[in-house]
Structure 1
């Protein structure tokens, strides 16, 4: 967890803001890219269909972002009520690092490419989740570590 979390000084908040901001900026750029892909796909249609599809995509994205926000807030609330111990948090962190880089098999990659114009709601859901998990005063891992420190003293 580092050493600055219990003092919560300038360095702590600076690291937290920079990390959160870079993740949110990256996801927002990917979301914009996906909306651009959707737009290039839809704008080739004639008549009223592009407007209808843009309205539907907008509604799906807003709904997905709200759903992601509420889903993540419930998870954060549950983790704050019963925070894990520092040892359990470390094990979860290490297990998550091993799973990075597993990748998708070739058939899944093709499916993702075909679904690319319609993935904006998925990224809106992830953005909602990230915002809800990022904009909390205290992280669940910090609560667990504070309780463990209080129990040891």
Structure 2
């Protein structure tokens, strides 16, 4: 007499629910809405960064120096945009090599949320002090988020799929 294992329930992932398993229309709607929300927040951040940068009293600088400063900012923004993209892709590749199990992913998200609350309060004054270089920081964020939003699968999905395969003893495609 052989004992059959009870299948494990599909774990729910933050922001994706259980739609990650089938990757159907509901999954893509969730990912699209998340991307739209993040891009809206990012656009607002870029607007604030540009407004603060333009609000810095640059009128005290001679016109030639002002043009050079603006060119340096533009160049720095282009470089940091690429650096943000590359950094996120490298981090993503590393997380795919050792993706988190669903419980580890939830614990990491809870820890991140606590740090985010701290930095949102403590980061306001340095943000205002960084106004002259804020466009480059905003460009880095654009690169980082653009790379994050354009991946085929999140590490949490890969980790949940591997966890599910290990606990169900069945194979599935990732």
**What TM-score do you get using the length of structure 1 for normalisation?**
0.88
How many residues are matched?
A: 150
Residue among 31, 35, 40 paired with 2:50: 35
**Map 1:25-104 → 2, pairs under 5 A:** 25-41=40-56, 44=59, 45-102=61-118, 103-104=121-122
RMSD of aligned Cα (Å): 1.8
1:122 is matched with which residue?
A: 137
Q: 1:111 to 1:136 in 2, by over 3 A?
A: closer
Of residues 16, 26, 33, the one that matches 1:18 is 33
Q: Where do 5+ consecutive residues of structure 2 fail to align?
A: 1-12, 169-174
2:160 alignment counterpart: 145
* Aligned partner of residue 89 in structure 1, secondary structure: helix
User: How far does residue 42 in structure 1 lie from its aligned partner after superposition?
Assistant: 5.9
Task: Show structure 1 runs of 5+ residues with no match.
Answer: none
Structure 2 distance, partners of 1:35, 1:80, is: 35
CA distance in 2, matches of 1:142, 1:117: 39
Alignment check: 8 A CA contact 2:100 2:159 kept: yes
Conserved 8 A contact 2:56-2:131:
no
> Contact 1:35–1:117 at 8 Å: present in 2 too?
no
Which has the higher mean CA deviation after the structures are superposed, 60-69 or 45-54? 45-54
TM-score by length of 2: 0.78
